[in-house]
A and B are shown apart, each in its own frame.
Chain A
Amino acid sequence: GAGVSQSPRYKVAKRGQDVALRCDPISGHVSLFWYQQALGQGPEFLTYFQNEAQLDKSGLPSDRFFAERPEGSVSTLKIQRTQQEDSAVYLCASSFGPRETQYFGPGTRLLVL
Chain B
Amino acid sequence: TQLLEQSPQFLSIQEGENLTVYCNSSSVFSSLQWYRQEPGEGPVLLVTVVTGGEVKKLKRLTFQFGDARKDSSLHITAAQPGDTGLYLCAGKGATNKLIFGTGTLLAVQP
Residues of A participating in the B interface, judged by any CB pair closer than 8 Å: 4, 31, 33, 35, 40-45, 48, 56, 59, 91, 93, 98-99, 101-102, 104-107
Contact = CB atoms under 8 A, between A and B. Distances in A.
A99 B97 CA distance: 9
Interface class of chain B by DSSP: strand
Interface class of chain A by DSSP: loop
B42 A42 contact: no
A34 B2 CA distance: 16
B53 to A, nearest CB: 22
A106 B100 contact: no
B98 A33 contact: yes
A41 B103 contact: yes
Interface of B: 2, 4, 6, 40-45, 48, 86, 88, 90, 92, 95-103, 105
18 contacts: A33-B96, A33-B97, A33-B98, A40-B86, A41-B102, A42-B88, A45-B97, A56-B96, A91-B42, A93-B42, A99-B92, A102-B45, A102-B98, A104-B42, A104-B44, A107-B40, A107-B41, A107-B42
